[in-house]
Structure 1
Amino acid sequence: MHSTNLLLEEPIRMASILEPSKTSFFPAMTKIVGTLGPKSRSVDTISACLKAGMSVARFDFSWGDAAYHQETLENLKLAIKSTKKLCAVMLDTVGPELQVVNKSETTLSLEENGTVVLTPHHGQEASSSLLPINFSGLAKAVTPGATIFVGQYLFTGSETTSVWLEVSEVKGDDVVCIIKNTATLAGSLFTLHCSQIHIDLPTLSDEDKDVIRKWGAPNKIDFLSLSYTRHAEDVRQAREFLSKLGDLSQTQIFAKIENVEGLNHFDEILAEADGIILSRGNLGIDLPPEKVFLFQKSALHKCNMAGKPAVVTRVVDSMTDNLRPTRAEATDVANAVLDGSDAILLGAETLRGLYPVETISTVGRICAEARQSLIVRGLFPMLADPRHPAESTSATNESVLKVALDHGKASGVIKSHDRVVVCQKMGDSSVVKIIELED
Structure 2
Amino acid sequence: MHSTNLLLEEPIRMASILEPSKTSFFPAMTKIVGTLGPKSRSVDTISACLKAGMSVARFDFSWGDAAYHQETLENLKLAIKATKKLCAVMLDTVGPELQVVNKNETPISLEENGTVVLTPHQGQEASSSLLPINFSGLAKAVRPGATIFVGQYLFTGSETTSVWLEVSEVKGDDVVCIIKNTATLAGSLFTLHCSQIHIDLPTLSDEDKDVIRKWGAPNKIDFLSLSYTRHAEDVRQAREFLSKLGDLSQTQIFAKIENVEGLNHFDEILAEADGIILSRGNLGIDLPPEKVGYLD
Please, what TM-score do these two structures have when normalized by structure 1?
Answer: 0.62
> Could you tell me how far 1:144 is from its partner in structure 2?
1.7
> Could you tell me how far 1:8 is from its partner in structure 2?
22
Structure 2 CA distance for aligned equivalents of residues 94 and 10 of structure 1: 47
Query: Percent identity over the alignment?
Result: 98
2:188 is the counterpart of 1:166: no
> Could you tell me how far 1:287 is from its partner in structure 2?
1.4
In the alignment, which residue of structure 2 is the partner of 1:101? Answer: 101
Q: Conserved in 1, the CA contact under 8 Å of 2:153 and 2:282?
A: no
Q: Conserved in 2, the CA contact under 8 Å of 1:144 and 1:170?
A: yes
The count of residues paired between Structure 1 and Structure 2 equals 293
Distance of aligned partners of 1:214 and 1:9 in 2 relative to their CA distance in 1, 3 Å threshold? closer
> Could you tell me how far 1:155 is from its partner in structure 2?
3.5
CA RMSD of aligned residues (A): 4.0
Q: Conserved in 2, the CA contact under 8 Å of 1:152 and 1:189?
A: no
Distance of aligned partners of 1:61 and 1:11 in 2 relative to their CA distance in 1, 3 Å threshold? farther
Deviations 1:207-265 (A, max 9, x none): 00000000000000000000000111000000000000000000000000111111111
Structure 2 CA distance for aligned equivalents of residues 229 and 110 of structure 1: 32
Deviations 1:360-392 (A, max 9, x none): xxxxxxxxxxxxxxxxxxxxxxxxxxxxxxxxx
Q: Conserved in 2, the CA contact under 8 Å of 1:89 and 1:221?
A: yes
In the alignment, which residue of structure 1 is the partner of 2:91? Answer: 91
Distance of aligned partners of 1:250 and 1:28 in 2 relative to their CA distance in 1, 3 Å threshold? same
Say which SS state the counterpart of residue 127 (structure 1) adopts: coil
Q: Conserved in 1, the CA contact under 8 Å of 2:117 and 2:130?
A: yes
Equivalence map 1:420-439=2 (5 Å)? none
Deviations 1:298-332 (A, max 9, x none): xxxxxxxxxxxxxxxxxxxxxxxxxxxxxxxxxxx
Q: Conserved in 2, the CA contact under 8 Å of 1:92 and 1:227?
A: yes
Distance of aligned partners of 1:13 and 1:263 in 2 relative to their CA distance in 1, 3 Å threshold? farther
> Could you tell me how far 1:180 is from its partner in structure 2?
1.6
> Could you tell me how far 1:18 is from its partner in structure 2?
3.2
Deviations 1:144-171 (A, max 9, x none): 2211111145533422221111212211
Most deviating of 26-35 and 116-125: 26-35
Superposition misfits of 4+ residues, deviation over 4 angstroms: 1-17
> Could you tell me how far 1:282 is from its partner in structure 2?
0.9
> Could you tell me how far 1:85 is from its partner in structure 2?
1.0
Q: Conserved in 2, the CA contact under 8 Å of 1:154 and 1:162?
A: no
Structure 1 CA distance for aligned equivalents of residues 9 and 84 of structure 2: 45
Deviations 1:313-360 (A, max 9, x none): xxxxxxxxxxxxxxxxxxxxxxxxxxxxxxxxxxxxxxxxxxxxxxxx
In the alignment, which residue of structure 2 is the partner of 1:325? Answer: none
In the alignment, which residue of structure 2 is the partner of 1:336? Answer: none
Structure 1: where are the runs of 5+ without partners? 293-438
Deviations 1:48-102 (A, max 9, x none): 1111111111001101100000011001100111011111100000111001111
Structure 2 CA distance for aligned equivalents of residues 7 and 53 of structure 1: 24
Distance of aligned partners of 1:8 and 1:90 in 2 relative to their CA distance in 1, 3 Å threshold? closer
Structure 2 CA distance for aligned equivalents of residues 133 and 265 of structure 1: 28
Structure 1 CA distance for aligned equivalents of residues 3 and 112 of structure 2: 57
> Could you tell me how far 1:277 is from its partner in structure 2?
0.3
Structure 1 CA distance for aligned equivalents of residues 188 and 48 of structure 2: 30
Q: Conserved in 2, the CA contact under 8 Å of 1:252 and 1:274?
A: yes
Structure 2: where are the runs of 5+ without partners? none
In the alignment, which residue of structure 2 is the partner of 1:154? Answer: 154
Say which SS state the counterpart of residue 3 (structure 2) adopts: helix
Most deviating of 57-66 and 14-23: 14-23
Distance of aligned partners of 1:130 and 1:6 in 2 relative to their CA distance in 1, 3 Å threshold? farther
Q: Conserved in 2, the CA contact under 8 Å of 1:158 and 1:181?
A: no
In the alignment, which residue of structure 2 is the partner of 1:28? Answer: 28
Distance of aligned partners of 1:235 and 1:63 in 2 relative to their CA distance in 1, 3 Å threshold? same
Say which SS state the counterpart of residue 239 (structure 1) adopts: helix
Distance of aligned partners of 1:5 and 1:242 in 2 relative to their CA distance in 1, 3 Å threshold? closer
Say which SS state the counterpart of residue 225 (structure 1) adopts: strand
Q: Conserved in 2, the CA contact under 8 Å of 1:115 and 1:177?
A: yes
Distance of aligned partners of 1:2 and 1:50 in 2 relative to their CA distance in 1, 3 Å threshold? same
In the alignment, which residue of structure 2 is the partner of 1:185? Answer: 185
- Compare the two structures and name the one with the higher helix fraction: 1
Most deviating of 53-62 and 165-174: 165-174
Say which SS state the counterpart of residue 177 (structure 2) adopts: strand
